[in-house]
Structure 1
Amino acid sequence: MTLSPLRLRLLVASLLAVSFLGALDHTIVSTSIATIAGSLGALEQLSWIMVGYTLAATVMLPIAGKLGDILGPRRVFLTSLVLFLAASLVCGFAPGLGWLVAARVVQGASSAGLQLMSQTIVARVTSPRQRPRYLAIIGAAFPIAIVVGPVLGGLIVDFWGWPWVFWVNVPVGLVALLLAVVAVPKLPGGAHPRFDVAGSIVFTVSLVALVLGVTWITDERLATAGLGCFAFAAIGIAAFFVIELRSPAPMIPPSLFANRTIAACLGLSAIIGVGLFAITSYLPTYFQMAYRTSATVSGLVPIATVLGMLVSNLATGFLVARTGRYRPYPIAGTALGASGLLTMAILPAGLPLWVPMAVMAVVGIGTGGFMNLIFAVVQSAAPRESLGVVTATTNLVRQVGATVGTAMIGGLVGFGVAAALPAGVDAAGLTPQVVHGSTAEVQTAVAAVYHDVFSPIFLVLACVYAVGILAAVLLPQGRLSDEPSPVAAVEPQAEPV
């Protein structure tokens, strides 16, 4: 479908506002989670405020993608936005943790629909060559939210109170809803109307078990239950693939994985989740301990990473839209990411903070070069009736990779630091504030421990990005077409020999 330039601008503005809303909601709550849990008298269960959101968002990804293909992305998008705003209101009025977690589950599920349908709508109204530009603009919401969210969350809690962390979504969301009603065209579904109920149930239960296992495995009291969840998830995922192979209308068609372009893009998406997203949340603690910085200063490194990601994401989107060439960017991006993480692994202790800032900015630049581009490429290789499914699957492997990677890194850091601390230093009460108030000898010893624990982690993540280079090389040569595909999308056009 071809839109007028004005309507396309309105559409992009609406999708950008909604994408920013969904991304900001996750980052803004992270700053105020302790305040919220304390106000509700539930500090021991505060993790469920975030886990409920993440779990629902992860589980809902393939379901929302399939619903978009069946019902049309406009219906799913508008319904998700209304549910998101209603859940935001309930979160602010929640009288207890149970109400809050239930509302956060609805928020997470609806945010998955918003994220997916934004990407799917762009795919349905633009040509393959136009998509990288608009997907880059919409995708800019995520890195901006990472930078803005924690600061904004702290200010809101300090001056307005924690309910406004959720209520601030409502005025922005209503404006976005009005724009969406006007600008989002009616896009019919086209997939088989039958829904894979058995596959959906098994997939949902398996993902719940996987996320719970990842969440519990680092807790000594719940480690056994976490291992049981992992075993259950493994059996469930195997059963899910068997169901999908036999289903007449599978939720994730196995035939998609036989497509070389789609398989390579899924690999690249997983590498971003495991290789970068999983380590980002641990960078502030690493620099507070290894470089002995304050909490405020330690945040400069992830900000530098995110800003590098933002700049290269926008630049790549516009360059690919002009030339149609896409393959060089994932190759160069994964190579930059691998080089940067390898450099982090071999950096000696005691360097000025600007050095790792510059190195992680390079990692961000490399990742941003293909972070959203792969969605345009994978959509160009999928039939129109499977756009929602293939977009959902690409998001899903990134989300699962980040979740599993984060848990693994957390476990390695916790075990490695506790085992290597010098005698007399209690691992249970070790905080940056405690270390900074200790003697110079203790500070030096703890800094060396954190440096030695994180170095091999950075090395492993560099190897993950090196595998990404192979995935990028597997992408076929070609250019994204500038012609709209009203019936079905096609493989990227092969270049003449």
Structure 2
Amino acid sequence: MRLRLLVISLLTVSFLGALDHTVVSTSLATIAGELGALKLMSWVVVGYTLASTVLLPVLGKLGDVLGARRIFLGSLVMFLAASLACGFATDMAWLIAARVLQGMSSAGLQLMSQTIIARVTTQRERPHYMAIIGAAFPIAILVGPVLGGAITDYWGWQWVFWINIPVGAAALALALIAVPHLEPGPAPRHFDVAGAAVFTASLVALVLAVTWAAERSAGPATAAALAVSMLGFVAFFFIERRAPEPIVPLHVFANRTIAAGTALSAIIGVGLFSITAYLPTYVQMAYRTTATVSGLVPIATVFGMLISNLLTGWLASRTGRYRIFPILGTSLGAAGLFAMALLPAGLPLWVPMVVMGVVGIGTGAFMSLIVAVVQGAVPARQTGTITATVNLVRQVGSTVATAIIGGVIGFGVAALLPAGLDASTLTPQLVHGAAPDVQANVAQIYSSVFTPVFIALAAAYVVGIAAAVLLPQGRLSDEPVPAAPSPSESLSA
């Protein structure tokens, strides 16, 4: 019973953290208008994403040292305080600062939820429960934009953030009862301060560079940020090799399970998460649909991901077999994206919905499962660190690939548009009101520009097939994880 309460608590806070990444999108225009800072609007999202990404390795290490329960509860309290501050914001700078705090705490919630599940379950049980926790993200993608729009229209944008307070407070009360006091790892003699600082600075510079590149502005600043990032990562590599207790232990990648699993996690960010934001635009232009109807394609993708994630988690826990799921999943993802590249413009909308639904099913087949598998390849005292690493490569891969795809689309469309159409002012409404031959021309242009994008993403999944094949054969163990909680602290279903 206590394990069920724990799963409910972890699922609730994971959903809140994931929801705050999606629910704000439909309220951004209202927020920017009321606070009078349209130019800073994107930083409400970028600040959150940046903070939730850069702190992952630090929080992972702290969770191993101080205990996952402490970091989880501290992150939840901080998340509630930041949500309260967001709603009371009187200017954009205040809101962005509060969103940064929200992103930092959200990283702790997501990461420690996965870490706690890993510490209280066997390898065999873990995929099932990890899939339940992992369902928070696709559900948040499905309901977040609609929920954000409804709250903004009927209650005011402040309640987009304040709605977290009662739900989060209930989850906190439940967590105080259900989350066990897990034994932390040994205190480090030398915490890797240099590695943490250099890594954080390098990742911030990288995210800024790709964000500015996607906006196609600040050319010298983009180049400088990218240079700082590259130099920083080189320095970080040498620091970690010499550090007695690094925040990212590079030696673990000699383990085939960890190396292949980390690569598969990166494929998810690069191959699917990066394209999701551009699917509605592609559908509106290539298939000449309204904005509302265009949302059906990403919805089909995410719904396929959700169902597959839950099903494969249950099957892996029931059978103990796991290797077949990432092999099948990456194969479906590659086939689906290649099919998207071959689809001619003007087909019925159900065709890309089905194809992208297949891509979602393939991705969901290993989205949460691979985290559980990689966690089982390290001692319990390194669970937080390796969980942070797997999540980090996924988020960085998504961020970088999203920026690259945005640049390719922007450049490609601008280069192919006929005279009289300006890419900077081109909207679906403008195209839909144009002559039929112009509509057909624009549809063909978008189809041509997206074709190499889909092929490149399919190639990423082909690399994922190779990584999945490299996963070792075997079955998930029913034995308790080494250094698990003491009997008085363990949970029973």
TM-score under structure 2 length normalisation: 0.97
1:461 and 1:218 map into 2 onto residues whose CA distance is 18
The answer to whether 1:110 aligns with 2:105 is yes
The answer to whether 1:316 aligns with 2:321 is no
1:79 and 1:428 map into 2 onto residues whose CA distance is 45
Calculate percent identity across the aligned residue pairs.
69
Q: Which amino acid aligns with 2:277?
A: S
1:235 match: 231
- Shift of the alpha carbon at 1:437? 1.4
Q: Alignment partner for residue 122 of structure 2, among 127, 142, 155?
A: 127
Larger deviation: 430-439 or 282-291? Answer: 430-439
1:167 and 1:448 map into 2 onto residues whose CA distance is 44
1:174 match: 169
Q: Which amino acid aligns with 1:144?
A: I
The answer to whether 1:16 aligns with 2:43 is no
The answer to whether 1:400 aligns with 2:400 is no
The answer to whether 1:328 aligns with 2:321 is no
1:463 match: 459
2:156 match: 161
2:11 and 2:215 map into 1 onto residues whose CA distance is 38
Q: Alignment partner for residue 434 of structure 1, among 406, 430, 437?
A: 430
RMSD: 1.0
Deviations 1:360-393 (A, max 9, x none): 0000000000000001100110111110000000
- Shift of the alpha carbon at 1:227? 1.5
Q: Alignment partner for residue 39 of structure 1, among 11, 17, 34?
A: 34
Are the counterparts in 2 of residues 217 and 224 from structure 1 also a CA contact under 8 Å? no
Q: Which amino acid aligns with 2:393?
A: V
2:208 match: 212
SS of residue matched to 2:29: helix
The answer to whether 1:367 aligns with 2:395 is no
2:11 and 2:214 map into 1 onto residues whose CA distance is 36
Are the counterparts in 2 of residues 192 and 249 from structure 1 also a CA contact under 8 Å? no
Q: Which amino acid aligns with 1:306?
A: V
Q: Which amino acid aligns with 2:45?
A: M
Are the counterparts in 1 of residues 216 and 407 from structure 2 also a CA contact under 8 Å? no
Q: Alignment partner for residue 139 of structure 1, among 134, 138, 142?
A: 134
Unaligned runs of 5+ in 1: 1-5, 490-497
1:495 match: none
1:370 and 1:454 map into 2 onto residues whose CA distance is 26
2:443 and 2:195 map into 1 onto residues whose CA distance is 48
The answer to whether 1:195 aligns with 2:206 is no
The answer to whether 1:50 aligns with 2:45 is yes
1:3 match: none
- Shift of the alpha carbon at 1:191? 4.1
Are the counterparts in 2 of residues 309 and 365 from structure 1 also a CA contact under 8 Å? yes
2:268 and 2:45 map into 1 onto residues whose CA distance is 21
SS of residue matched to 1:218: helix
SS of residue matched to 1:175: helix
2:466 and 2:53 map into 1 onto residues whose CA distance is 27
1:473 and 1:221 map into 2 onto residues whose CA distance is 41
1:492 match: none
Are the counterparts in 2 of residues 88 and 166 from structure 1 also a CA contact under 8 Å? yes
1:60 match: 55
The answer to whether 1:343 aligns with 2:339 is yes
Deviations 1:23-75 (A, max 9, x none): 11110001111111111000011111011101100111001100000000000
- Shift of the alpha carbon at 1:152? 0.3
Q: Alignment partner for residue 385 of structure 2, among 373, 382, 389?
A: 389
TM-score under structure 1 length normalisation: 0.96
Q: Which amino acid aligns with 1:195?
A: F
Q: Which amino acid aligns with 1:420?
A: L
The answer to whether 1:358 aligns with 2:375 is no
Q: Alignment partner for residue 272 of structure 1, among 262, 265, 268?
A: 268
The answer to whether 1:79 aligns with 2:74 is yes
Q: How many residues align?
A: 484
2:85 and 2:115 map into 1 onto residues whose CA distance is 28
1:105 and 1:153 map into 2 onto residues whose CA distance is 19
2:51 and 2:359 map into 1 onto residues whose CA distance is 30
SS of residue matched to 2:481: coil
Pair 378,220 (structure 1): closer, same or farther in 2 beyond 3 Å: closer
- Shift of the alpha carbon at 1:122? 0.2
Are the counterparts in 2 of residues 316 and 373 from structure 1 also a CA contact under 8 Å? yes
The answer to whether 1:452 aligns with 2:433 is no
The answer to whether 1:244 aligns with 2:240 is yes
Q: Which amino acid aligns with 1:473?
A: V
Q: Which amino acid aligns with 1:15?
A: L
Deviations 1:184-231 (A, max 9, x none): 000121144232100011001000100000011133431221121111
SS of residue matched to 1:217: helix
- Shift of the alpha carbon at 1:488? 7.4
The answer to whether 1:96 aligns with 2:91 is yes
1:483 match: 479
Q: Which amino acid aligns with 1:376?
A: A
